[in-house]
Amino acid sequence: MSSSMPLGAAAHADSDASPLCVCFSVQARAEPGVMPRVVELFAKRGLVPQKWHSSASGETLTIDVQMAGLNRDLAGYIARCMRQITGVETVLTSETRPSG
């Protein structure tokens, strides 16, 4: 996944405020507390990701999360919160808009 656009720079009045499907790719130290802290960012907002994949290899934990229905501001906020979690080294985001 790549980070092509900053997610936090959207205005509510234009089409950037419409729902997105956002993919978060998290690289972190393979520590037991990282996954629950990442999923908590969705759970405390009543959100259930469409897809969640995690894998640990050596000392590295990779978490890929796909979440539909987010606006750009909330997606950016969640990504910033992920970056503040102890053990998280990198958070990349990508987004798609439903066609129609």
- Give the chain's domain count: 1
Q: Is 2 within the bounds of a domain?
A: no
Cβ contacts of 13 within 8 Å, gap of 6 or more: none
Residue 12 lies in a domain: no
- Residue 44 covered by a domain: yes
User: Strand, helix or coil at 63?
Assistant: strand
Q: What is the pLDDT along the chain (100 residues), one digit of tens a residue?
A: 334 444 443 333 344 566 789 999 999 999 999 999 999 999 999 999 999 999 999 999 999 999 999 988 999 999 999 999 999 999 999 998 766 5
Q: Strand locations in 1-100, DSSP E?
A: 20-29, 51-57, 60-70, 88-96
Alpha-carbon distance of 46 to 69, in angstroms, equals 12
Q: Torsion angle, CA of 42/8/21/41, rounded to 10 degrees?
A: -10
CATH number, position 36: 3.30.70.260
**Amino acid occupying residue 72:** R
